[in-house]
Structure 1
Amino acid sequence: MLYRVLDAVTSAKCETGRRARKQLKVLDALDAARTQLYHFTTIVIAGMGFFTDAYDLFSICLVADLLGHIYYQGRGNKLPGSFAGAVSGVALCGTLLGQLFFGWLGDRMGRKRIYGVTLKLMVLCSLASGLSFHRDPECVLATLCFFRFWLGFGVGGDYPLSATIMAEYANKRTRGAFIAAVFAMQGFGNLAAGAVVLMISARFKNTAAYETDPLGQADYVWRIVLMLGAAPALLTYYWRMKMPETARYTALVAKNLKLAASDMAEVLDIDIDAVTDKEDVSPRGGHEFGLFSAEFVRRHGRQLLATTVCWFVLDVVFYSLNLFMKDIFAGIGWFGDADSMGPLEQTYAIARTQAIVAAAGSLPGYVLTVLFVDRMGRIKIQLMGFAMMTIFMLGLAGPYKFWSHPNMHAGFATMYAFVFFFANFGPNSTTFILPTEIFPTRLRSTCNGISAAGGKCGAIIGVLWFQYSRTSVQGSLLMLAGCNLVGVMFTLALPEPKGLSLEDITGEMDEGSEQQSEESVAVTAVDSEFIHSVEIL
């Protein structure tokens, strides 16, 4: 009897394993698919969202001084402290909430269904931000902050959805490069913000109208700059609506393998008959533990803490250096006598500096990440980036007064560009990639949103620190260098997902197979009670 039971159990396990392997055919085909045109199309579709995100978030720091000249003329030509912090940080607050809300919604309703909503919100609020009219300056700025908040809310939704969609469409060999390419569009958006401000301000400051009414012409500039943020989002709206749901969500969350294979065959050149047949069954989905369960904490709690903290400390540094670049460079006399400049001349000088740093430091860093992330691995790049950022920031902060000599300005700008180079060929890219790969499909968008929201908490803290802290620029730079060291420590707690299938990284298919095996063993054991046999001594 004992031998018959064992034989029945073994047969049940083999059958369960065979069916589990069959369930993976659709996803195996996706992992093994050659790189095709639709992969690059998805990069553009998802990447243009990040282009828009970066443009919208970073353009405001270029025109913030214009608002002070226009609405507080004769009162210091600067925004009051409360409004200055709100104009710079309110979009980040919206982004944080959008990342949490749309990340959660993407796992509940599907990636595609929510993808268009975020884009509509970005378009409408970009246009509305430039149409903030009122006689009272406080009302203009309050209206601007209102629409900037909801703009940030839409931007926040783009983070987890774009990352998840690209990861779930990609094959396992080049997945890191594809996700990094989507995120690299942030660099082009940052550069575009500087270029647009340069062109618009140059166009208006060289007119006769500017000689007679400089503030009136400057008022057009900031409105046009903010409203142009709607253009790239509009260009990709149709294609976002045409995208099918990702095969991984349909197969593993919606539990419909047939539809997953059909959707995938519409956009990728694969043999649909090779990945589905009449015996295919929907995955059981394993125990399907929730985000706040003890099982999730045991399996993924340390990883979620590490991705969130790494993104947090990275964004403290990254957004502080981006949004307050003008203050850091002004501290060494980069802009000369700023008080003698007109409003558009000052804006032009700030935008030119940002464009130089973006072109010389940020973009090369993004490109190298795309080229090497699937060769070196995410963890090595992140560790290298945090370490090199620390070294260069100490080089900026230690002799900060030394850089104020006019002959040293070029050296300061070069080292500043190197910080951004290693941020982007480092944690600014990898903190975006890792949360998209190491969490289960049914929680992937949510966990990415939580990690990204941790980053925006860091960005908000950085804004508040630079806006209201009485610490010197040198002391602030030293504090930012310390943040990088925290990132190094928490990076060591993360796994390396290079070259692995998403399901192999998360173990979610194994989890389903284990449950099915246990159930099959239990059923077989019960049935075995009715087997009449003679025990062998």
Structure 2
Amino acid sequence: MIDIWDKVGGFWARHVVAKDVEHIRERERRDDRISIILNHIGFSWRVYLVAFLGFLASSWSLIAVTIITPALYFIYDRHGQFDRDAGLVLDMVTLTATILGMVFFGHLADRLGRSKLYGIEVIIVLVAVGGAAFSSAGFIIHQGESDETSSLDIYAALFVFRAFLGLGIGAEYPMSALIAAEFSPTRWRGVMLAAVFLAQAVGRLLAYGIGVGTLRGLSNQLDPAAKDALDRTKVVLDIFWRLALSLAGIPAVFALVFRLFIPETPRFYSAVKRDVKKARESLTMLSTRTPEMIADIERVMIVGPNDAASSITGRRSWRKMAADYYFGSAKGWKLLAAISIQWLLLDVVWYGVGLDSPGTLAALWLDKAPPPTSIPPPNWNDDPAYPNATIVETIDRNLVRTLELSSIATLLGSVAVIPLVGRLSRKTHYLCTTWALAALFACMAISVSQTYAKPTHQASMVFYVLAQVLFNLGPNTLTFILAAEIFPTEVRGTSYGIAAASGKLGAIIARGIIKRAGKGQGGLVTVLAVFCVTLVVMALLVWLEPLGIAFPRVQKPRSLKWRESGLWHKILHSHLENQSLEDISPWPLEEAAAGEVEGAGRRRSESESDTESRPPGLVEEGVRLEALAVEIGPQAKQVKTTATPVVGAAVVCAEARDG
């Protein structure tokens, strides 16, 4: 194993005496020590599985709910007394509860810690899925051919459990992102978060793919000519929707088991609890626990008598700290506004073409004028080309079309973005894919206006597939990543929850747009045109950065050594490298309130030229200056901290009073 001390220029190897580090409690040094170990541990598959499985369960559950809606209409719609608004109400309940879950659990993660909430959101999803899958209309009494009475209301039960499901799904968003971001080494952070977001596409694929297999397997036993064919169809569909929903709980069970053995994130211990000892224990649990690794952790994470959380006095309340961050010199509200506005506008488009996918896909698939009919289609059939299709045929067609035009495409986009996420700057990546999406939606709107219900309709389908790929290749994945990167640890959960909740608010707005636009060719063209304009607005906001509302730089150019490397090395390695979470979002002067060294928490992400021009002996000189700063203590009148090209080594320049 390569000695970690060689990686940090020998700084820690030469200065492991207690007096050199016992007094150092400022935020920057704690975080640097943690970053050293996390970078040495590398990509943690255990952390990845914990975040991935939880996000997979929530995504699968949400899609499964959409799949089963036509079956519920068919089985429990008593003589047409329930219209399409019943499905709309259930969707709104789920989305509203999701918003509450994102904000509430994101905030709790900042106040109580990540570990105290590990598994709670998964338990909520399990309870909701299980409760919904076993919901019943109770005992039914038939009173003639046109009336019946039941002891329970299936829609009331689904209403309650859909609310719980939304709460669990909302809680999972910030928790998965926080786990992935705060346990990730700097180098792999973007890849880790993109790979976690892959769970959304995998969940879609599994929900629709297993749904097709389950429906076809169950419906093979149906005989359309049998006298009781209708009742048997209802029995088959009742089994189908319960299986489709309950299977989504399988990854949740595994996620719950894994989360029981994941410690609190070391960054939370450092930034919020100020407890180096606990941070060291967390890193030890995460590591391979080999003697060499444990020795490395103990040498780097040296705990002095003042490093315990209980020794820190004068700490401000979370509310005061958050107010200082959002509205103080850091102006954190601008970052929050930037990501929240983007997520809101994005989900207007994303959910606008996703929540009503059976109707949208049916319109895109139409290759000739619908056959005339005097009988209105049932509320579970959105396909004008097949007004007389059976319920089984309708559900099967919806599932297959979504698989072919949406699920596979989003999976391709999610897979492709993983190696790409570190090769472009986040802003360039976001802008390119958003402009491309706007162009695709414009082409789609024109295509639908010209080829609707014509043999050339395939052009619209091609544009739709490309758009699905680009969503996850670009803004859909990048908003998930950026929201986890750009905020300080103290407010990361709250900020992430608010940003993600803004997205779900966009989904609710999308419902209103679709309902107002109406059905048919004119309605679809209107919706696509509105979404095209929305994407243009998104791109312009990122490009122009009005009022300074913009994303921070989360990457920096590599050193001169990269430029002088060979062509093959440049192809394999990006010219950019991630900045640490602490460099992206420094916490201004918070440590001073706790009686720590003035200037702690202030960071400057140095430019490439600064890195290259620094004399080779500056690190060693910085070590001597730091020791001098320790000795002069109260006489130091100015402390200035700058990042060095060596991970974990800080140059502290102290100037004594009177020279």
1:128 is aligned with what amino acid? Answer: G
TM-superposition CA deviations, 1:243-299 (whole Å, max 9, x none): 011000011111110111121112224412222224374487997774762542242
Check if 1:277 corresponds to 2:302: yes
Check if 1:495 corresponds to 2:559: no
Partner residue of 1:27?
Answer: 34
Check if 1:324 corresponds to 2:392: no
Partner residue of 1:206?
Answer: 220
Tell me how far apart the structure 1 counterparts of residues 272 and 448 of structure 2 sit (CA, whole Å).
53
TM-superposition CA deviations, 1:183-227 (whole Å, max 9, x none): 111000011111121011111221136752222322221122112
Greater helix share, 1 or 2? Answer: 1
Displacement of 1:478 after TM fit?
Answer: 1.0
Change over 3 Å in CA distance of 1:290–1:58 after alignment to 2: farther
Tell me how far apart the structure 2 counterparts of residues 306 and 278 of structure 1 sit (CA, whole Å).
39
Partner residue of 2:341?
Answer: 309
Change over 3 Å in CA distance of 1:173–1:330 after alignment to 2: same
TM-superposition CA deviations, 1:417-444 (whole Å, max 9, x none): 1111111011111111111111111110
Change over 3 Å in CA distance of 1:336–1:22 after alignment to 2: closer
Change over 3 Å in CA distance of 1:432–1:286 after alignment to 2: farther
Tell me how far apart the structure 1 counterparts of residues 303 and 486 of structure 2 sit (CA, whole Å).
32
Check if 1:94 corresponds to 2:97: yes
Alignment of 1:115-514 (within 5 A): 115-134=118-137, 135=140, 139-208=153-222, 212=229, 213-269=232-288, 270=293, 271-279=296-304, 281-282=306-307, 290=320, 293=323, 295-298=325-328, 299=330, 300-334=332-366, 337-467=385-515, 469-470=517-518, 472-492=523-543, 493-498=550-555, 499-508=578-587, 512=591
Tell me how far apart the structure 1 counterparts of residues 636 and 182 of structure 2 sit (CA, whole Å).
39
Tell me how far apart the structure 2 counterparts of residues 18 and 243 of structure 1 sit (CA, whole Å).
28
2:531 is aligned with what amino acid? Answer: L
Tell me how far apart the structure 2 counterparts of residues 310 and 291 of structure 1 sit (CA, whole Å).
25
Tell me how far apart the structure 1 counterparts of residues 413 and 365 of structure 2 sit (CA, whole Å).
27
Contact 2:31–2:582 (CA<8 Å) still a contact in 1?
A: no
1:275 is aligned with what amino acid? Answer: V
TM-score (normalised: structure 1): 0.88
Alignment of 1:57-68 (within 5 A): 57-68=62-73
Displacement of 1:114 after TM fit?
Answer: 0.6
Tell me how far apart the structure 2 counterparts of residues 312 and 63 of structure 1 sit (CA, whole Å).
27
Contact 1:317–1:480 (CA<8 Å) still a contact in 2?
A: yes
1:505 is aligned with what amino acid? Answer: I
Change over 3 Å in CA distance of 1:159–1:352 after alignment to 2: same
Displacement of 1:17 after TM fit?
Answer: 10
Contact 1:177–1:374 (CA<8 Å) still a contact in 2?
A: yes
Change over 3 Å in CA distance of 1:485–1:62 after alignment to 2: same
Partner residue of 1:75?
Answer: 80
1:221 is aligned with what amino acid? Answer: F
Aligned-pair identity (%): 25
What runs of 5+ residues in structure 2 fail to find an aligned partner? 1-19, 141-148, 367-382, 544-549, 556-577, 600-628, 638-657
Tell me how far apart the structure 2 counterparts of residues 51 and 406 of structure 1 sit (CA, whole Å).
38
Displacement of 1:405 after TM fit?
Answer: 4.1
Contact 1:122–1:155 (CA<8 Å) still a contact in 2?
A: yes
Check if 1:48 corresponds to 2:73: no
SS in 1 for 2:239: helix
Partner residue of 2:603?
Answer: none
Partner residue of 1:532?
Answer: none
1:32 is aligned with what amino acid? Answer: N
Tell me how far apart the structure 2 counterparts of residues 202 and 15 of structure 1 sit (CA, whole Å).
66
SS in 2 for 1:494: coil
2:99 is aligned with what amino acid? Answer: L
Tell me how far apart the structure 2 counterparts of residues 188 and 295 of structure 1 sit (CA, whole Å).
37
The more displaced of 479-488 and 440-449 is 479-488
Displacement of 1:517 after TM fit?
Answer: 3.8
Partner residue of 2:5?
Answer: none
Change over 3 Å in CA distance of 1:489–1:27 after alignment to 2: farther
Change over 3 Å in CA distance of 1:291–1:479 after alignment to 2: farther
* Count of residue pairs brought into register by the alignment: 511
Change over 3 Å in CA distance of 1:372–1:17 after alignment to 2: farther
Alignment of 1:8-19 (within 5 A): none
TM-superposition CA deviations, 1:440-467 (whole Å, max 9, x none): 1111011000000000100111123324
The more displaced of 129-138 and 176-185 is 129-138
SS in 2 for 1:375: coil
SS in 1 for 2:480: helix
Tell me how far apart the structure 1 counterparts of residues 389 and 446 of structure 2 sit (CA, whole Å).
30
Contact 1:257–1:281 (CA<8 Å) still a contact in 2?
A: no
RMSD over aligned CA atoms reads 3.0
Displacement of 1:174 after TM fit?
Answer: 1.3
SS in 2 for 1:374: coil
1:251 is aligned with what amino acid? Answer: S
Change over 3 Å in CA distance of 1:158–1:484 after alignment to 2: same
Contact 2:64–2:244 (CA<8 Å) still a contact in 1?
A: yes
1:508 is aligned with what amino acid? Answer: W
Tell me how far apart the structure 1 counterparts of residues 254 and 454 of structure 2 sit (CA, whole Å).
44
Displacement of 1:108 after TM fit?
Answer: 1.0
Change over 3 Å in CA distance of 1:72–1:185 after alignment to 2: same
Tell me how far apart the structure 1 counterparts of residues 92 and 451 of structure 2 sit (CA, whole Å).
29
1:324 is aligned with what amino acid? Answer: D
Displacement of 1:487 after TM fit?
Answer: 1.8
Partner residue of 2:641?
Answer: none
SS in 2 for 1:125: helix
Tell me how far apart the structure 2 counterparts of residues 291 and 19 of structure 1 sit (CA, whole Å).
18
Displacement of 1:322 after TM fit?
Answer: 1.3
Change over 3 Å in CA distance of 1:360–1:234 after alignment to 2: closer
